[in-house]
Amino acid sequence: MDNYFDVLVIGAGPIGLACGIAAQKAGLSYIVLEKGCLVNSLYNYPLNMTFFSSSERLEIGDTPFVTTLPKPKRAEALEYYRRINGKFDLNTRLFEEVLEIQKDGELSIVITTKRQYIAQFVVVATGFYDIPMSLNVPGEDLPKVSHYYRDPHFFVNQHVVVVGASNSSVDAALETYRKGAKVTMVVRGPEIGPRVKYWVRPDIENRIALGEIDIYYLSQVTEIKEKSIIISTPNGTIEFENDFVLALTGYRPNFDFLRKIGIDVPHTAPMIPTHNPQTMETNVTGIYLAGVVCGGLNTHLWFIENSRVHADIIIQHILKRMSRCYANLEGKS
């Protein structure tokens, strides 16, 4: 059957591709499905983003990631993973979203936006970049509000409010400031986030100290209006004119999809999906998790560099299970 595979991987990010490579090397039939473009999450990163990790920590398939920079940029990573996909001639199907999975005994029937597949094993490597954490304030649905940041040129000569103090927030604040935007940061905590890239921290701290970027600590947005924004601060509530809001408050996995396919996900933080860390198998027999999705709301728990091993862990467990199955069949014969 052309729609049957030993392994079906959901998500063609770096870890999903690593799972495809591991399956291919093990001689298993496989397919990698992706609802967007190749390494879709990385594609949606800011255009000028620099990775925290060095290039060798982003490598998969025992293939060097060559760059002249100490830390690779988004464009280099996109090209690297595109070449990986081509080098291994991976069986990837792009712009095909998985809608549901139905169990039929030990098999999984995977229904997508384009067709239906049958798989003995399924690996969910869907990441966490698809669903932003909402501010839950009036006006958040206005066109001036975005939970993603791409390029600073759009914000030339505009008053931009950046909500958050993570790497993405700091990068957006610095880049839009340098394109002539009036930038105000709104930070829930008492300082810039502790995980901000060490080579960027002095830059943002100096801009704040010199008054070039305004910042409100221990504060939060309470309402967004078409031409202004309201912020609750330790010194009271303030309102000022504003053109755009970048609500870069983080993202989360698609818990609804995980629950829909039968994976147990707690309703309280950190909402880590149920899985065996020794095998990466979930509570649903034959369905595995790989990559950052394993951390639930702890989105800083897993990265490309420390979750690459999930691919080999999963495929080795699948091979052992298939070997036992074949042994049992031979015994019965």
Domain ranges of the chain: 4-131+251-331, 134-247
Tokens (6 digits) for 16: 């999903």
Nearest CA among 129, 123, 130 for reference residue 17: 123
Nearest CA among 286, 197, 240, 282 for reference residue 6: 286
Q: What is the pLDDT of residue 300?
A: 85
Tens of pLDDT, residue by residue over 97-119, are: 999 999 999 999 999 999 999 99
Q: Are strands 220-224 and 228-233 parallel, antiparallel or unpaired?
A: antiparallel
Whether residue 213 is predicted with pLDDT greater than 70 in this model: the reply is yes
Q: What is the pLDDT of residue 327?
A: 62
For the chain, the average pLDDT equals 95
Single pTM value for the model: 0.92
Whether residue 163 is predicted with pLDDT greater than 70 in this model: the reply is yes
What's the whole-number mean pLDDT along residues 310-320?
97
What span, in angstroms and rounded, lies between the C-alpha atoms of 294 and 280?
A: 9
What's the whole-number mean pLDDT along residues 222-243?
97
Tens of pLDDT, residue by residue over 143-160, are: 999 999 999 999 999 999
Binning pLDDT at 50, 70 and 90, where does residue 323 land?
confident
Specify the CATH number for 134-247; select among 3.50.50.60, 2.60.40.10, 1.10.240.10, 3.40.1190.20: 3.50.50.60
What span, in angstroms and rounded, lies between the C-alpha atoms of 121 and 196?
A: 38
- Decide if domain 4-131+251-331 falls under CATH 3.90.230.10: no
Please check whether residue 108 is in contact with residue 118, taking contact to mean a CB–CB distance below 8 angstroms: yes
More confident residue, 1 or 127: 127
Asked whether the domain spanning 134-247 has the same topology as the one spanning 4-131+251-331, the reply is yes
